[in-house]
Amino acid sequence: MASGVTKKVDTERYAHPNRSLNPVWSPDSKWIAYARLIDSHYKVIKTYNIETGQTLQLTDGMADAISPVWDATGKYLYFLASTDYGLNTGWLDMSSYDRPVTRALYLIVLNKDEPSPLLPRSDEEKEKPKDDASKTGKENTAVAPVKIDLDGIAERILAVDIPLRDYVDLQPGPEGYVFYAESVPNQQGVTLHRYNFKDRKSEVYLSPLHDISVSNDRKQLLYRSNGTWGILGTSDTGKKVGDGKLESLASRKIKIDPRAEWKQIFREGWRYQRDFLYVNNTHGAPWNDVYKWYSPWVEYVQHRTDLNYIVDILGGEVAVGHSFTSGGDFPQVETVPIGLLGADYDLDKGTYRFKKIFTGESWNPELKAPLRRARHWY
């Protein structure tokens, strides 16, 4: 911010629906850790030093590694990795659809002189610490510099003792803790676990969750479960969804000027294509002129559907596939579902008579014909 200089740390080389390169800062603010695709389309964990510009690859690329998270002390780096990810590298290939992915939780001891937190422990009684008269009573909050030794780092990558599951994300915790999210079959949202390195035990922290964010001091966790938002302490136990609930934004009302909002939305749609299309020339469309062509139309918008129509035409000037416009604020209209009997009928001597009963798709348990069971009555 002081110099106004921007430096490129790294760049992704392949298009993939799962975004990587989600950088996380080390506790001393000197390193950035992130996951990046390599030639095999596996991901590796890398770190970048902002002072020296040095980039280090910490994993060997033989497993698909994601979601790096720094320990609160900066001594360790946690991440998730899969050794059965292979077929999923071709994410658009349907042959991988029935191949489930499992991941394990790992940690890297970054400094070769630092002991592992998973070393076997002695059951011998420890000597009580002596009182130090030189202590001032003030807690030392300074963060030690992060030191990363590449020498022998492969031997310092350790698996944490939890079962293999479809883990999808890590979140930072207080010192000696890390959160990991599990995607559970047939469950909406993830189950969030918390691992305790002191006791070497894992527990379910909260479930099901759809959004998770931990505060910078690692003391508070913001969560969303369906429409419920809440804040809990990262050291809390025995909590359930609804604890620490925040007032719903849906209960608040604000006044808006739809016409001013529509103008802004139109400009944002135009700007997104200008700034984020995968090529800089918008496929040859004179983009500044395109804005002049269509912006007057916004004055005549009477409904959000009108605006979507204009923004869709705007995007059409790019002439690119997989370009869609939808959504927005629409009135809530109560609908009444109407069931269909699934039958044909005719008139017989002035009365109605079932002519044919349709059975539906017997192989699909979600589609049931209402009169199928009564078919033999007629």
Which tens digits make up the pLDDT trace of 261-286? Answer: 999 999 999 999 999 998 989 999 99
Backbone angles phi, psi at 268, to 5 degrees: -65, -40
Residue with tokens 């909590």: 239
Residue with tokens 């659809």: 97
* pLDDT reading at 378 higher than 50: no
**Domain chopping of the chain, boundaries:** 24-119+144-250, 258-316, 343-377
Q: Give the global pTM.
A: 0.75
Q: Please tell me the number of Cα atoms within 13 Å of 336 on its side-chain side.
A: 0
Q: What percent of the chain has pLDDT over 90?
A: 69
Beta-strand runs (E) in 115-184: 157-159, 167-172, 177-183
3-state DSSP call for residue 141? coil
CB-based contacts of 97, cutoff 8 Å, min separation 6: none
pLDDT at residue number 138? 57
- Alpha-helical (H) ranges within 197-257 are none
pLDDT at residue number 127? 78
Cα gap 107→75, rounded to integer Å: 10
3-state DSSP call for residue 252? coil
* pLDDT reading at 19 higher than 80: no
Residue with tokens 């799962």: 18
The β-bridge partners of 58 are none
Q: What percent of the chain has pLDDT over 70?
A: 94
**Amino acid in the structure at residue 255:** K
* pLDDT reading at 301 higher than 50: yes
Mean pLDDT of 346-357: 89
Mean pLDDT of 302-324: 93
Going from the C-alpha of 216 to that of each of 24, 27, 29, 322, the distances in angstroms are: 11, 10, 12, 38
Quote the mean pLDDT of the chain. Answer: 90
Cα gap 273→296, rounded to integer Å: 19
Angle ∠(66,69,70) on CA atoms, nearest 5: 145
3-state DSSP call for residue 169? strand
CB-based contacts of 218, cutoff 8 Å, min separation 6: 72, 172, 173, 174, 175, 234
- Alpha-helical (H) ranges within 92-240 are none
Least confident range of 77-81, 160-164, 273-277: 273-277
Least confident range of 30-44, 63-77, 87-101: 87-101
pLDDT digits (tens, 9 = 90+) for 212-222: 999 999 999 99
3-class SS shares of the chain: helix, strand, coil, % to 5? 20, 25, 55
3-state DSSP call for residue 209? strand
With beta carbons less than 8 A apart as the criterion, state whether 166 and 182 touch: yes
The β-bridge partners of 45 are 35
Least confident range of 6-15, 216-225, 293-302: 6-15
Query: In CATH, what class is 258-316?
Result: alpha beta
* pLDDT reading at 311 higher than 60: yes
pLDDT at residue number 247? 81
pLDDT at residue number 21? 87
- Alpha-helical (H) ranges within the chain are 258-276, 287-294, 304-316
pLDDT at residue number 136? 55
Q: Which residue has the higher pLDDT, 82 or 375?
A: 82
Going from the C-alpha of 248 to that of each of 35, 225, 226, 245, the distances in angstroms are: 34, 12, 12, 9
For the chain, the straight-line distance linking the first and the last C-alpha, in angstroms and rounded, comes to: 81
Query: In CATH, what class is 24-119+144-250?
Result: mainly beta
- Describe the crossing of helices 304-316 and 287-294 by its angle, rounded to 10 degrees: 150
Q: Which two tokens stand for residue 297?
A: 């139309």
